[in-house]
Structure 1
Amino acid sequence: MKRGWIGGALVTAASGLGLALYANHVAREAEALVPAEGQFLDVAGARLHYIDQGQGPAIVMVHGLAGQLRNFSYAMLERLTADHRVILVDRPGSGYSTADPGTTPGLIAQGKMIAALITTLGLDRPLLVGHSMGGAVGLALALDHPELIRGLGLIAPLTQMQDTVPDSFRGLAMVPQSARLVFAQTIGTPLSKLTARHTLGMVFAPEIPPEDFGIRGGGLLSQRPAAIATASAELFGANRDLRQMVPRYPELRVPTSILFGRQDAILDPGLHGHRTAATIPGAKIDTIEGGHMLPITVPDATVRFVKAAFAYGHSAHDLEKTGRNTI
């Protein structure tokens, strides 16, 4: 019996080692296909990877859960750099940004990190654009550091607490938080590869995910163990910060524009869009045909929204300088 127990333990250990080696192989392969292409900046609590292109008034863009900056460079970056300096940033633990060892910064902490990036780069009150969970990070920054930005452009943003997890992220919600890193390093990556097509289908619904999203959109990087662990932790931790943030929305005096796809299958436009817009003074909201991944599926309309959000923030900034404020 003792020998059987020892044998079983050895088989389990060997299986775990094999899965870990496979996960590391997948991570190396993904990083070879989707390499870091920007610069790095150290801020308190993290090392941020970002792209800085174009000239003109600045726009900072922050991606969503399990994403990375190529979610924006896929189709929006070139459309914006003709008139703007555009900074795309990987959130800590996503893409090539890293948080301090043993930490997973929440929404409020990430807002402070983006604020530090804006300050360090010497940006003159940029428009802050956030997609999905990146929208929540933008709101956190606007609540605590409104003087650093001239407006918010929120694309399909997470803005309210969630009672349930979207079906596309159900697997992340099943990860035991006490063993998150072990799970991600063994089972997480193979499971992610097996379910990638189905998961992307749900995230993009009702649109079809583009075939080149894995490389051009950075999707392959989400299959790395570190990215899986980060996404799982963020999914569990979002409500904690939103509980503090939501009651403060009426305090916001930053010009805020919100865009949602009417068929968004990830976040409810009524809850995260219209309800939130009603609580933020002067907030504007628009809805268009489309799902959750608007920066990739309808880039022209999304770029028009970003430019309109910049104009709204710019006009409010001008009014503020003349001693008047309609926000």
Structure 2
Amino acid sequence: MALPLLTGIIVIAALGITLVLLVLFTRRATRRIEQAVPMDGRHIDIDGERLHYVEYGNREKPPVVFVHGLCGQMRNFAYLPLEALARDHHVILVDRPGSGYSTRGAQAGANIRAQGDTIARFIRKLDLQAPVLVGHSLGGAIALAVALDHADTVARIALIAPLTHVQTEVPKAFRALAVRSAVVRRFIARTLATPFGLATSTPTLKQVFAPEAVPADFRTRGGALLSLRPCGFINASRDLVAIEDAGDLALMEQRYAQLTVPVEVLFGRGDIVLSWARHGDALRRRSKRVTLKVVEGGHMLPVTAPSTTYEWLRAAIAGTTQAQSERTIAVDQHVDADASLTPAMPPRRAAI
């Protein structure tokens, strides 16, 4: 009997030591991640939460607000020529609640409409007059929620590869986030999420960017490392689970015909995360307010096709994109970034 007991004690001790080492590794890695990708802006208090945001350009110019997607952060827009846009506009990038350097309390809603409410309050708190709201991926769904629930706060919305309809299958790159238990989620975040995320970040990013290549500096310049912190895992998991559990998209689908602001949509034909037909063309068919443009590329057009995205965005902001009444979808060839347009974000730092 002594041998099995001794074996059990050794196994328990080994597991305990392993967990302690994982916790210590996670804490150390988190510090290094935050050194590699520090804050870019400042915080503003919104109903007890602190939203991290950065501004470019003259505050007297027409405002443009950018909202990123799942597992993202404001640096996801760093490859766009934001300084060029800021010559004529007041440009604001914000970390969604719980993402990047923004906070989200344990009791705060993670569902799409709750985040839309927060972004609307953010717009009002900054006293932004009729901004253009730009949303990428999940940020696109949140922008749509703002347009439906707070139409008075925005002039129009511009959506890049947006989530617009109920999707029963979780994209492969995000399946590890589908953890419904808050207790299990916290345990994974403090032990396994960071080391596992660092080890698998390359194939995961390839799935998100496919069929295009992942820039070598995306982990720092694009802010991808921040999602590997424990808080990044917890809040991204909450976001993903809330998309299905809250049922916001199903309700929003029924209201798209009631949209009162113009909606410009840009999609990559090769997007394997969100189908342009399921989420772009389906939205276009539901509302005469929606204009859709499809170009060659994948899900991360602001990173992989910054010139194409910028040209579309300038036209969308000006309201000069293709008229919806024509009901045609243009297909553009991929255009490399114009080297003369300088990204607004800080230069790349050494990755972990």
Matched letter for residue 24 of structure 1: R
Instruction: State the distance in 2 between where 1:176 and 1:109 align.
Output: 20
- Report deviation, 1:102: 4.6
**Within 5 Å, which residues of 2 pair with 1:1-327?**
1-55=4-58, 56-103=61-108, 105-173=110-178, 178-239=183-244, 240=246, 241-312=248-319
The CA deviation at 1:217 is: 0.7
Partners of 2:201 and 2:65 lie apart in 1 by 29
Shift in CA distance, 45/244, structure 1 to aligned 2, threshold 3 Å: farther
Partner of 2:134, secondary structure, is strand
Instruction: Give the AA of the match of 2:10.
Output: G
Deviation at 1:313, TM superposition (A): 8.9
The one-letter code of the counterpart of 1:242 is L
What residue identity is the alignment partner of 2:314? K
Aligned-residue CA RMSD (Å) = 1.9
Contact between 1:151 and 1:313, CA under 8 Å: does it hold in 2?
A: no
Q: Which moved more, 1:301-310 or 1:196-205?
A: 301-310
SS across alignment from 1:157: coil
Report sequence identity in percent. 44
More helix by share: 1
Higher mean C-alpha deviation, range 16-25 or range 32-41 = 16-25
CA distance in 2, matches of 1:201, 1:175: 26
The CA distance in 1 between the partners of 2:158 and 2:320, in whole Å, is: 9
Q: 2-side partners of 1:148 and 1:39: how far apart?
A: 22
Taking structure 1 as the reference length, the TM-score comes to: 0.92
Q: Which moved more, 1:176-185 or 1:214-223?
A: 176-185
Post-superposition Cα deviations, 1:189-221, rounded to whole Å, max 9, x if no partner, equal 111111111111111111111101111111111
Provide closer, same or farther for how the CA distance between residues 26 and 313 of structure 1 changes in structure 2, counting only shifts above 3 A. farther
User: Helix, strand or coil: the match of 2:249?
Assistant: helix
1:47 Cα offset (Å)? 1.0
How far residue 21 of structure 1 moved from its aligned partner, in angstroms, is 1.3
Q: 1:78 offset after TM fit, Å?
A: 2.0
Q: Is the 8 A contact 1:104 1:230 kept in 2?
A: no
Amino acid of the structure 1 residue aligned with 2:68: H
Q: 1:232 to 1:66 in 2, by over 3 A?
A: same
Q: CA deviation at 1:8?
A: 2.7
Q: Which runs of 5+ in 2 are unaligned?
A: 324-352
For 2:66, give the aligned amino acid: M
1:290-322 deviations in Å (ceiling 9; x for gaps): 1100001111111122122212299x9xxxxxx
SS of aligned partner of 1:259: strand
Q: What CA deviation, in whole Å up to 9, does each residue of 1:90-122 have, x standing for no partner?
A: 011111001124545221111111111110111
Structure 2 CA distance for aligned equivalents of residues 278 and 177 of structure 1? 38
Aligned length: 315
Where 2:215 maps in the other structure, the secondary structure is coil
Partner secondary structure for residue 166 of structure 2: coil
Aligned residue for 2:127, secondary structure, equals coil
Partners of 1:171 and 1:75 lie apart in 2 by 29
SS at match of 2:212: coil
Letter of the structure 1 residue corresponding to residue 46 of structure 2: V
**In 2, distance between residues paired with 1:11 and 1:304?**
57
Q: Which moved more, 1:175-184 or 1:59-68?
A: 175-184
Cα contact 2:210–2:298 (8 A) shared by 1: yes
C-alpha contact 2:268 2:276 (8 A) present in aligned 1: yes
2: CA distance between counterparts of 1:75 and 1:130? 14
Structure 1: gaps spanning 5 or more residues: 317-327
- Report if aligned partners of 1:138, 1:152 keep a CA contact under 8 Å in 2: yes
Aligned-pair CA distance for 1:4: 3.9
Cα shift at 1:129: 0.2
Structure 1 runs of 4+ aligned residues shifted over 4 Å read 174-178
